[in-house]
Structure 1
Amino acid sequence: MTDLWISFSVLGLVLLLSELTRRVAARIFPGDYQIYLLEAACTFQLCSCTHELKLLGESVQLEPHIGLTITYIVTLIHLATFRGASCNASGALESFCRGNSSFRSALVLIAFQFGAGVAAQHFVAVVWSLGLSDVHLRHQRFGFRCFDPLGGTVLEAAAVELACGFIIQAAVMHIHKLDERLKAHFIAAVITGLVFTGGSISGAIFNPVLAFSVQFPCSGHTYLEYCFVYWLGPISGVASCILLFEKIVPFLSGKCTIRLDVTAAKKQKTQ
């Protein structure tokens, strides 16, 4: 139980540092610089918290309902503090493809996200080296190494990441139909469900930046295999979701409508 509370304290420290950075950025830096620093602070928060929670989950035998409850609550905190930041390279690419941002802006944003992911790696290593808990001490003795994060084959893990990317994108695209008070809870519930369903196979990361920070340093597979699973998988899921709901479904709906209109016109002519 002591290890659990120490991990919660680490999460609280990360949240305070990230919130301080967000407030400083909002007051001092104008325009695009504020957006970049906001993304960096939020991505740092996401990656650092995930590092700590992953270590806790692998080292302490938590009951499934406790682990899922922690995931749900931490996700709610992220959603409440991110202030619109995506913390996801897929979001930056989507914004560019939709024409909402320039290629340069998207590239700089992604660079800040990956930089924050690397900063999170170094930050948690410093915290773990303090040996605040038995979990941290054991991890320190292993040289802060992590091992094979895949619970299935590379193709199975990539399929899980693709499915997770598709589902979370679909949830985001249709969330406007919900009451404002339910939106954060809905997204948190979806993410928690995905972690429960796909976590044992790929970790259910569905975020290229988060995966680069948390999963890529692990042994067990090559860099290209991790790119295939954690970059190509979720990006393909997001792209296929957008293609389905914004292109294919409207096209088929329009086609069906045309067919119905033609049928009705033929009936009127025969009458």
Structure 2
Amino acid sequence: MADLRVSLAAVGAAVLLSEAARRAAARLLPGVYWRCALEAAATFQLCSCTHELKLLSGAVPLGLPLGLTLTYVMTVVHLATFRGATCSPYAALESVCRGASGVGAAAVIIACQFAAGVAAQYFAVSIWSLGLSDLHVRHQRFGFRCFDPLGGTLLEAAAVELGCAFAVQAAAMHAHKLDEKLRLHFVAAVITALVYTGGGVSGAIFNPVLAFSVQFPCSGHTYLEYGFVYWLGPGLGMASCILLFEKLLPFLSGENAVRPEIQKKKTQ
């Protein structure tokens, strides 16, 4: 339990540090700079917490109830504190395709996300280097190395990442149909279920930046192979979900394919 307490403290420190950065940026940075800082802080928080929880779950037998509870609670914390940040390059590219953002702005946001992912790696190592728990000490003895995160073939892992990204995108696109108080918990429940279902095959990352920070440094596969699983898989999953719900199904049913929020703006 000592390892668990220290890991939770490390996760709490990452969340508090990220929240402090968000509040400082809100006061000091205007416009597009605030947006970039928001994405960087949220991505740093997501990656830092995942580094610690991945280490904890891989070395300490948490049990299914506690493991799922931690996943759900941390997902709720992330969604509640991100303030609209997506932490995903594909979301930035989607905004470009929809005409909501320029290519330059999206490129800057993506660069900030990847920079935050790298910063999270250094933050995690700095925490582990303190040797605050036996878990951290053991990890330090192995040179902070991580090993093959895939529990299946490359195709199986890519298929899992594709399916996870599809499901999360579908949940995000339809969450507006629920009561506002339930939306966050609905998405968190979907993500928790996906982690439980696909975690043993690919880790259920379904986020290119998170995978770059947490999975790519691990031994067992090349960067190209990890890119196939964690970049191509989620990209295809997200794109296929959007095409299905906004193009194919409306075309087959003869309905308007305009998204609800866009339709609302047009009627105002």
Sort the TM-score into its range (normalised by shorter chain). over 0.9
Once residues 77 and 22 of structure 2 are traced to their aligned partners in structure 1, the CA distance between those partners, rounded to angstroms, is: 15
Alignment of 1:99-248 (within 5 A): 99-248=99-248
Once residues 160 and 93 of structure 1 are traced to their aligned partners in structure 2, the CA distance between those partners, rounded to angstroms, is: 22
Alignment of 1:40-59 (within 5 A): 40-59=40-59
TM-score where L is the length of structure 2? 0.94
Once residues 190 and 234 of structure 1 are traced to their aligned partners in structure 2, the CA distance between those partners, rounded to angstroms, is: 16
Once residues 133 and 187 of structure 1 are traced to their aligned partners in structure 2, the CA distance between those partners, rounded to angstroms, is: 33
Once residues 142 and 168 of structure 1 are traced to their aligned partners in structure 2, the CA distance between those partners, rounded to angstroms, is: 35
Deviation of 1:125 (Å): 0.3
The one-letter code sitting in structure 2 at the alignment partner of 1:128 is: W
Corresponding residue for 2:34? 34
The one-letter code sitting in structure 2 at the alignment partner of 1:68 is: L
Deviation of 1:214 (Å): 0.2
Corresponding residue for 1:80? 80
The one-letter code sitting in structure 1 at the alignment partner of 2:251 is: F
Corresponding residue for 1:93? 93
Structure 1: segments with no counterpart, 5+ residues = 256-271
Once residues 181 and 29 of structure 1 are traced to their aligned partners in structure 2, the CA distance between those partners, rounded to angstroms, is: 30
Secondary structure of the residue that 1:3 maps to in structure 2?
helix
Corresponding residue for 1:68? 68
Q: Which has the larger radius of gyration?
A: 1
Deviation of 1:142 (Å): 0.4
Structure 2: segments with no counterpart, 5+ residues = 256-268
Once residues 157 and 93 of structure 1 are traced to their aligned partners in structure 2, the CA distance between those partners, rounded to angstroms, is: 23
Corresponding residue for 1:266? none
Secondary structure of the residue that 1:146 maps to in structure 2?
coil
The one-letter code sitting in structure 2 at the alignment partner of 1:9 is: A
Corresponding residue for 2:249? 249
- Residues 158-205 of structure 1 deviation map (CA, whole Å, 9 limit, x = unaligned): 000000000000000000000001011001000000000000000000
The one-letter code sitting in structure 2 at the alignment partner of 1:169 is: Q
The one-letter code sitting in structure 2 at the alignment partner of 1:139 is: H
Deviation of 1:90 (Å): 1.3
TM-score where L is the length of structure 1? 0.93
The one-letter code sitting in structure 2 at the alignment partner of 1:131 is: G
Deviation of 1:34 (Å): 0.4
Secondary structure of the residue that 2:201 maps to in structure 1?
coil
Once residues 202 and 89 of structure 2 are traced to their aligned partners in structure 1, the CA distance between those partners, rounded to angstroms, is: 18
Once residues 33 and 5 of structure 1 are traced to their aligned partners in structure 2, the CA distance between those partners, rounded to angstroms, is: 36
Secondary structure of the residue that 2:152 maps to in structure 1?
coil
**Percentage of matched positions with identical amino acids:** 69
Deviation of 1:12 (Å): 0.9
Count of residue correspondences: 255
Once residues 131 and 172 of structure 1 are traced to their aligned partners in structure 2, the CA distance between those partners, rounded to angstroms, is: 39
Once residues 233 and 89 of structure 2 are traced to their aligned partners in structure 1, the CA distance between those partners, rounded to angstroms, is: 13
Deviation of 1:93 (Å): 1.0
Deviation of 1:61 (Å): 0.8
Corresponding residue for 1:265? none
RMSD: 0.7
Once residues 175 and 33 of structure 1 are traced to their aligned partners in structure 2, the CA distance between those partners, rounded to angstroms, is: 29
The one-letter code sitting in structure 2 at the alignment partner of 1:153 is: T
